[in-house]
Amino acid sequence: MAGTPGGREGAREIRVWDPLVRLTHWGVALGVLVNSALTDPDGALHEQVGYGVLALVVLRLLWCIVGPKPARFSAFPPSPAAALGHLRAMLRGERKVHLSHNPMGALMVYNLWLTLLALSATGIMMGTVTFFGVDWVEELHEAAFGWLMFSVALHVGGVLFDQWRTGVPLARAMVTGRKRIQAERLDG
Amino acid sequence: MKPFALIAALALAASPVLALDLTTDTQLGSTPDEIRTSLKDLGYDVRKIEDEDGKIEAYVVKDGKMAEVYVDPKTGKISKIEME
């Protein structure tokens, strides 16, 4: 491995994200971008893109049960205590890296999924006879969207920060599926 | 004067598929209150009325059909109907 950029000798490439994880990740990102910036919120296309995003989230959630190990719920259980421990380790300057989502990243993942589900549910409700034109449903849809935008900003910020902190190119890993990790920093 | 109303009623009864008996140019009123009253009199469930780019937009439901009705406050007439 001599001559790799930055002289990363002892760095290992480890497969973590399978194609379905990557496809659903970027598919959802694209759908959110299209529906937040390009489609008419009252139009049929907005609805169709919304259903597409919901299908990708549901597919990803099923993959959390039957998919490969790093994609499963068991690889990144939602744990505020673990997230707090992760934060403390970070403040102590430890640079251990995680193979699946790290504990704080995991909380963000669940937050994003729940927000997308709330956005889908309220969006679908707005098109039903029962909730058509009912203000609180529309307000909830807009609130969920605002929270999603805030979360996405935090998510991107967190990824950039962790890339800088641990030296693992995370965004690249979501494209290639492989994390490039210094051997001595491996911590499951 | 009644024959027209009778013919209209028969036409409506004969075509139950056409649940929305509104067309552009239907006169509804130039204020949200007038529009709400007109739509209610026509048998619509008015869910919400709000300003939308200078038009008054009403969310209505009738016979399980949903629509957004846009009224031009200057003329008091419907300018656009969007079925859901």
A27-68: per-residue pLDDT in tens? 999 999 999 999 999 889 999 999 999 999 999 999 999 999
User: Would you list the DSSP string of A41-76?
Assistant: TTSHHHHHHHHHHHHHHHHHHHHHHHS-GGGSGGGS
Whether residue B48 and residue A133 make contact (CB cut-off 8 A), yes or no, is yes
Longest dimension (CA), chain A: 65
A72-93: per-residue pLDDT in tens? 999 999 999 999 999 999 899 8
Burial of A2 (0-12, 13-18, 19+ CB in 10 A): exposed
Q: How close, in Å, is residue B63 to chain A by CA atoms?
A: 10
Whether residue B64 and residue A42 make contact (CB cut-off 8 A), yes or no, is no
Domain ranges of chain B: 20-83
Q: What ipTM was assigned to the predicted interfaces of this complex?
A: 0.71
Q: How close, in Å, is residue A130 to chain B by CA atoms?
A: 9
From first to last of the 84 residues of chain B, give the pLDDT tens digit.
456 666 665 555 544 334 567 888 789 999 999 999 999 999 999 999 999 889 999 999 999 999 999 999 999 999 989 887
Contacts of A134 in chain B (CB under 8 A): 47-48
B50 contacts chain A (CB < 8 A): no
Whether the predicted pLDDT of A131 surpasses 60: yes
Q: How far is CA B45 from CA A128, A178, B39, in A?
A: 14, 56, 8
Residue with tokens 């552009």: B24
Tell me the whole-structure pTM to 2 decimals.
0.82
Structural domains in chain A, CATH included, are 10-185 (1.20.950.20)
Cβ contacts below 8 Å, chain A against chain B, sum to 21
